[in-house]
Amino acid sequence: MGEETGANRSGGLSTAEGGVAIAAAPFGSAEMLVSRVRALRGPNYWRLAPVIACDVRLGALERATSAELPDFCDRLLAFLPSLREHLCVGGASGDFAEALTSGAELTFVLERVALELQKLVGCDVSFGRVVHSGDTGVWWVIVAYDEEDVGLDAMHDAVLIVRACIDGAPLEVGALVADLQDTYERSRLGPSTAAIVEEARRRGIPVRRLNSRSLVQLGLGRNLRRIQATISENTGSIAVEIAQNKEDTKRVLSNIGLPVPLGGAVRSLEHAIELANEIGYPVILKPIDSSHGRGISGRLDSPDALPDAWELARVVSLGVLVEHFHTGRDHRVLVVNGRTVACAERVPAHVVGDGERTIRELIDAANRDPRRGAGHRKILTHLPNDERTVAFLAKHALSLDSVPLVGERVSLRGTANLSTGGTSIDRTDEMHPDNVTACEMAAAIVGLDIAGIDVLTADISVPFRDNGAVLLEVNAAPGIRMHTHPTEGRSRNAAGPIVDMLYPPGTDATVPILAVTGTNGKTTTVRLLAHLFRNTGHHVGFTTTDGVYIHDRLVMEGDMTGPFAANIILSNPTIDVAVLETARGGILRSGLGFDECDVGIVLNVAADHLGLRGINTVEQLADAKSVIPAVVKREGHAVLNADDALVYAMREKTGGDVVLFTACSWAENPRVVEHLARGGIAVCIDDGQFTVRRGTLRIPIATEREVPLMLGGAARFQRQNVLAAIAAAYARGMRYDDVRAGLLSFFPSAVQSPGRLNIIPLRNGARAIVDYAHNPPAIAGLVDLIRRMPARRRVGIVTVPGDRRDDDIREAGRLCAGFDHVIIKEDRDLRGREPGGIAALLREGLAQSGRNGGSVETIPSAQVAIERGMALVGQDDLLIILAEKVPQTLAAIRAYAVNRE
Residue range 121-163, pLDDT digits in tens: 999 999 999 998 878 889 999 999 999 999 999 999 999 999 9
pLDDT at 900: 55
Rounded CA-CA distance 657/680 in Å is: 8
Helices (H), 447-505: 464-467, 481-484, 495-502
Q: Is 674 helix (H, G, I), strand (E, B) or coil?
A: helix
The one-character DSSP state at 206 is: -
> Quick one: average pLDDT of 840-862?
87
From residue 748, alpha-carbon distances to 302, 524, 602, 736, 741 in Å are 86, 9, 21, 22, 16
pLDDT at 883: 87
pLDDT at 611: 64
Rounded CA-CA distance 82/624 in Å is: 35
Per-residue pLDDT at 21 exceeds 50: no
The one-character DSSP state at 480 is: -
Helix (H) or strand (E) holding 784: helix 776-788
pLDDT at 376: 65
Phi and psi torsions of 692, nearest 5°: -95, 130
From residue 379, alpha-carbon distances to 371, 563, 802 in Å are 6, 35, 56
Across 73-87, 208-222, 246-260, 693-707, least confident range: 73-87
Per-residue model confidence as pLDDT tens digits over 602-636: 999 987 767 666 778 889 899 999 999 999 999 99
DSSP string covering 328-362, please? Answer: SEEEEEEEETTEEEEEEEEE-SEEE--SSS-HHHH
Q: Are strands 450-457 and 470-476 parallel, antiparallel or unpaired?
A: antiparallel
Rounded CA-CA distance 703/598 in Å is: 28
pLDDT at 27: 61
From residue 82, alpha-carbon distances to 93, 97, 112, 118, 650 in Å are 11, 10, 11, 12, 41
Rounded CA-CA distance 403/390 in Å is: 14
pLDDT grade for 2, boundaries at 50, 70 and 90: very low
Q: Are strands 681-686 and 657-661 parallel, antiparallel or unpaired?
A: parallel
Phi and psi torsions of 424, nearest 5°: -135, 150
> Quick one: average pLDDT of 559-580?
95
> Quick one: average pLDDT of 841-869?
88
Per-residue pLDDT at 442 exceeds 80: yes
Per-residue model confidence as pLDDT tens digits over 647-691: 999 999 999 999 999 999 999 999 999 999 999 999 999 999 999
Query: For the chain, what is the mean pLDDT?
Result: 90
Helices (H), 430-583: 433-446, 464-467, 481-484, 495-502, 522-535, 563-570
Per-residue model confidence as pLDDT tens digits over 315-341: 888 889 999 999 899 999 999 999 999
Phi and psi torsions of 854, nearest 5°: -70, -15
Per-residue pLDDT at 186 exceeds 80: yes
Per-residue pLDDT at 8 exceeds 50: no
Supply the angle between the helices 191-202 and 495-502 in degrees, to the nearest 10: 60
Q: Are strands 320-324 and 207-209 parallel, antiparallel or unpaired?
A: unpaired
pLDDT at 93: 52
pLDDT at 181: 93
Helix (H) or strand (E) holding 814: helix 806-816
Per-residue model confidence as pLDDT tens digits over 221-265: 999 999 999 999 999 999 999 999 888 999 999 999 999 999 998
Share of the chain above pLDDT 90, in %: 68
Share of the chain above pLDDT 70, in %: 95
Apex CA 463: angle with CA 462 and CA 467, to 5°? 75
Whether residue 756 contacts residue 772, with contact meaning beta carbons closer than 8 Å, is answered with: yes
Residue 681 bridge partners (DSSP):
659, 694
What is the reported pTM? 0.85
Per-residue model confidence as pLDDT tens digits over 339-386: 999 999 999 899 999 999 999 999 999 998 888 877 666 778 889 989
Per-residue pLDDT at 738 exceeds 80: yes
pLDDT at 9: 33
pLDDT at 609: 66
Per-residue pLDDT at 395 exceeds 80: yes
The one-character DSSP state at 762 is: B
From residue 55, alpha-carbon distances to 137, 138, 563, 619 in Å are 10, 6, 21, 21
SS3 content of the chain, % helix, strand, coil (to 5): 40, 20, 40
Per-residue pLDDT at 901 exceeds 70: no
Rounded CA-CA distance 512/786 in Å is: 37
Identify the residue with better confidence: 703 or 86.
703
pLDDT at 607: 76
For residue 566, the tally of other CB atoms under 10 A from its CB is 27
pLDDT at 18: 35
> Quick one: average pLDDT of 101-107?
92
Across 198-202, 543-547, 819-823, 847-851, least confident range: 847-851
